[in-house]
Structure 1
Amino acid sequence: MYLCIKIGKDQTMKQTFILAILAVLLFSCHEDEDSAERDKTDFLQYAFYEQGNPKSKSEAFLIQDGTIHIMAVQHSNLTSLIPEYTINGRDVYIEDTKQRSGWNAFDFSDFTNPITYRVESSQGEEKDWKVNVYDLPVMMINTPDGEPIVDKEVRKEGCTVKLVNLDGSIDDLGTAGIRGRGNTTWVLDKKPYNVKFDNKHAILGMNESKNWVLLANCYYDRTQLHNATAFEMARLTDFPWVQSGRFVELILNGTHLGLYYLCEKIRVENDKINITEMDPEDLSGEALTGGYLLESYVDLGDYYFDGYPFQTDYFNRTGYNLNCWLAWEIKDPEGDFSIPKEQLDYIKSAMNKMESLIYDDNKLMTGAYRDYLDIETAINWYLVQELSTNEETTRTKNLYLYKDRNDKFRLGPPWDFDAWSFGQSAIEWHNCNNWCLYYRQLLKDPVFVQRLKEKWAIYKPLWEELIPLFIDTHMNMILRSALRNEQMWPDWSDGNLYPTFSYEVCVGEMKKAFYQQLYWLDAQISAY
């Protein structure tokens, strides 16, 4: 009995010893696996807060591909921020100074300048991590295949879109189809985009819509303010509608693309160009008369249009060298080449009738053309283009013209100021008077001229007071983003008037050009 018990105890002790050895081995293997998993070179979490105020914490909204994307602490000057983070590596450095979470050595808590961390593993591997601090809303777009958007005609469908607000909250905007846009700007490295959401969204306080535009603001405009400023000038007039916009930063498939201007797309919608939306069946009678939204189309070579885009009989050459062929695209009703022949014939005939009354001096003086062309919007468009010194108007480019059912043609809203405007081309010069649309003729009509003078007297003091303030306010708003954008897209010497000036000096030159053209134009209009 005793022997049996002893043997049983020996077996039990032996089993216990074996189990203990196995447990040690298993724990050691598990620890090695954990160590191998931890011992990498990545940030797993990142946040910072204002020194002395831990409740002001801002957390990174994206950590990917060697970049930490984080919204700035609101109302902070970025000079005294304390970072907190976790890594799966061994140590973190800035240059040669070792860092630790919740503490900064020397002056590395100043985030006004770019900061780059280096994460090291115990195996000696290293990885650099750049910190992008944003003080503008951030739009994040991911394509379903992770590939870039390279087509200007066909949308890439199924893209997911999110908007990071200034307070760090994130709006899920669902899915959208996205394609490229623009003419000259599309061939540049920094691409502009058209965005069509699957559902309507009111973004950053703007009207609800499915259709939006991300303007890249090309290299010619170092201030990044030309479009926004010209649109604001137009909003101070009595245009029925002018597109709104907001500055955002764009991240596409995890890659930061810089500063963009998100704005409403010019379209026929209730809160935009509010005219009747036509159906393909509207082929006769009153229904055939509208609404139509047209955009000018300019070809700079010896191109002859074959029916579409369509040309009118009277005004089909534009530009100081007369090598620009002018035609019109129908933006709404949508369909372009598939638009019913009856609608195409009607709108072309209506424009020919209007132009026949403008280009016959005797008929012009009767004012009969004013039954076909709304001079209020024509004057608004003229004044915005002239004051902004927009050289694009010499070729009648990017001009929108619309007509509601049983109504006149109306111009606007103004569009496309990122290149040759606000001093980038000639100052103290008329861009519209000689080659742009009908203005050489319209300025012969004393009724048109008198109304132009009246409207200038209303708008000039508004523009003189409010536009420089708008420029200053928005320069300060986008300053850090604009400076970073210049580092990302540095080809300013190609076609830019001020390639070597600082950003702030470029904005100053823009304001100077505005004032100079304002006072010159005032004298010119007084002498009309």
Structure 2
Amino acid sequence: MKRYIFFIMFFLSIFTITGCGVKKSEFQKFIDRIPDIISKDYVLPETFKHEKIIWKLDNQELEDNRLEFIYSDEDLELSLVAIVKNDVAMKTVKIKKTNFVTELNINTTNNLEITSKEDYLRANLKISDAGFFNTEIESARIRGRGNSTWGYEKKPYRIKFDTDTSILGMKPATDYVLLAEHNDKSLMRNYIAHYFSRFLNLPHQLETRYVRLVLNGDYKGLYLLTEQVAVSENRLNIDTSDDIDGGFLLEFEREFDRANAEGKENVDWFRMKNPNPNDRNNNGNTELYQEVYYVVKSPKIKSFDKNIQESKINYYKEYINKFEQSVSSDEYDKYINVDSFIDYFVLTELMKQVDIGYSSVYIVKDKNEKMQMGPIWDFDISSGNGNYYAYGPKGFWSDYNPWFGILIKNNSFKEKYISRFNEIIDLYFSKVLSEIDRVLDYITIDAKRNFKRWDMFMNDGFNPNPIEMLELKTHDKQVEYLKSYLTERKNWILKTLNNEGYIGYLGEEDEGWR
């Protein structure tokens, strides 16, 4: 009997120690008073019994004891650790998700129609279904944007604010873009490219949000709201001083007219001779060098005096020349961030972006740093969408870009590129496919409404959709086309890279989806 009682007492004591009967410390009880769910920025208690509390989130000490309410399209659980003297307490709080698609209402003054890509109209902006991120701004401006995309019925827009402003939790800035995605029936290619960029070594990853746009009371469809590629204190923050060797953001352009439209030569843009990527064998059939143009997006060269203007442009030209010459001597890593270059061209190759050697290619350099590729931009014509280039899943493409064209011929760079391509696919490709499925669940209803609004779902045959896309009459099938394309292209690239190396785009017509 005594033995029986002993075992009962023993197990009761173990339960008391290990189970729900553990006595909480006063400090833990104090921390437990913090709300389980937060719906706005929350200031955590600074002291306990006059002793300072140290707060940690993911092993990082929080500044100002402030728990920032962040944008998330899924519920988030944050595990906090509180430390005071020799006592430690823990608390899990939840941040409730924000709607994946939110409604953006914009009204221009007097409901004036937006007809210009140059002239802004005053407007007010309102988001009312985003909880903590609800916004109403009177001091907005809006105009059209884009090149060929401005000619479509569903038009893209540029939004500008008088001061740095945050929309839907995005980092504050003055400039935003509304991408219409009229060319892309999956409505996902730009989103997926930016999602993929989160995992890559790039100078800045642009934030994106899906919105249903209502302009002057007229529903305009499903849009992708994103940052403008620009230098900004809260986003792509680089040196913009008048130092000759200061930072710069350039955009590569192939066409003279597009560069010339940006302003004055050797102020707003400059020209150079770059290696011709189409000259594979130096056999004399093509010119060794081609004229290309670089638009200076930052700094604003015209704001400096003429001597500084000339010195800065000469510095840019000299730096680019030195980089191009360094490839043959295997010293290119003195001028470029190799990891950035490799990751940028892995992404453009996988998605077979049409413009990689033409336009919308950005290059950034900060003071005392090396040149980097990025941020990425303009992926609507990619991944099997585009009937005016070799759009099929087979065939290399990125060496259409003159810089990558010479780099990939360098053995050391090629080895690093192939190794990193395999690594990126192994680590992240499945995540991309899963993200496509996740986004499809969220946007299906809005996508159907979008196509109903424009009554153009595969019926008008407008450029640039290839025949394979025109044959698919539902949004679900368009998304499946995108997934299948990326999978087949991934398989072809891996097999070819690992067995034959990077054999280059030969300039031959693709047979579409082979």
Instruction: Give yes or no for TM over 0.5.
Output: yes
Structure 2 counterpart of 1:380: 343
Structure 2 counterpart of 1:269: 232
Q: Distance in 1 between matches of 2:368 and 2:133?
A: 47
| Structure 1: segments with no counterpart, 5+ residues | 1-73, 76-133
Deviations 1:462-503 (A, max 9, x none): 332100111111111111111111122234421223124111
2:393 aligned with 1:427: yes
Q: Distance in 2 between matches of 1:324 and 1:267?
A: 27
CA contact (8 A) 1:217 1:418 kept: yes
Q: Distance in 1 between matches of 2:100 and 2:226?
A: 18
Structure 1 counterpart of 2:370: 408
Pair 1:348–1:169, CA change in 2 (3 A): closer
Match of 1:148 among 103, 113, 134: 113
Q: Distance in 2 between matches of 1:270 and 1:250?
A: 28
2:265 aligned with 1:307: yes
Match of 1:173 among 133, 137, 143: 137
Structure 1 counterpart of 2:250: 294
Deviation of 1:257 (Å): 0.6
CA contact (8 A) 1:319 1:394 kept: no
Deviation of 1:371 (Å): 1.7
Alignment root-mean-square deviation, CA: 3.1
Deviations 1:113-171 (A, max 9, x none): xxxxxxxxxxxxxxxxxxxxx982111111112111111112223x1100122569942
Deviation of 1:312 (Å): 3.8
**Between the two proteins, what is the percent identity of the paired residues?**
24
CA contact (8 A) 2:213 2:221 kept: yes
CA contact (8 A) 1:432 1:439 kept: yes
Match of 2:317 among 327, 346, 352: 352
Farther off after superposition, 370-379 or 489-498: 489-498
Structure 2 counterpart of 1:194: 158
Pair 1:388–1:410, CA change in 2 (3 A): same
2:170 partner SS? coil
Q: Distance in 2 between matches of 1:289 and 1:195?
A: 32
2:470 partner SS? coil
1:23-34 equivalent positions in 2, closer than 5 A: none
CA contact (8 A) 1:246 1:262 kept: yes
Deviations 1:362-418 (A, max 9, x none): x423233322222221111101100011122242x1011112113222110110011
1:162 partner SS? strand
Structure 1 counterpart of 2:294: 328
CA contact (8 A) 1:160 1:173 kept: yes
Structure 2 counterpart of 1:499: 470
Deviation of 1:264 (Å): 1.5
| Equivalent pairs, count | 383
Q: Distance in 1 between matches of 2:295 and 2:133?
A: 41
TM-score, normalised on structure 2?
Answer: 0.68
Structure 1 counterpart of 2:184: 221
1:209-248 equivalent positions in 2, closer than 5 A: 209-218=173-182, 220-248=183-211
CA contact (8 A) 1:358 1:438 kept: no
Pair 1:458–1:136, CA change in 2 (3 A): same
Structure 1 counterpart of 2:221: 258
Which amino acid in 1 is paired with 2:248?
Y
Q: Distance in 2 between matches of 1:342 and 1:352?
A: 16
TM-score, normalised on structure 1?
Answer: 0.66
Structure 2 counterpart of 1:511: 483
Pair 1:514–1:265, CA change in 2 (3 A): same
2:424 aligned with 1:459: yes
CA contact (8 A) 1:266 1:272 kept: no
Pair 1:290–1:257, CA change in 2 (3 A): same
Which amino acid in 2 is paired with 1:164?
S
Structure whose alpha-carbon radius of gyration is higher: 1
Deviation of 1:234 (Å): 1.3
Pair 1:436–1:236, CA change in 2 (3 A): same
Pair 1:331–1:313, CA change in 2 (3 A): closer
Structure 2 counterpart of 1:161: 125
2:429 partner SS? helix
Match of 1:525 among 464, 478, 497: 497
Q: Distance in 1 between matches of 2:305 and 2:370?
A: 21
1:438 partner SS? helix
CA contact (8 A) 1:295 1:400 kept: yes
Pair 1:340–1:431, CA change in 2 (3 A): farther
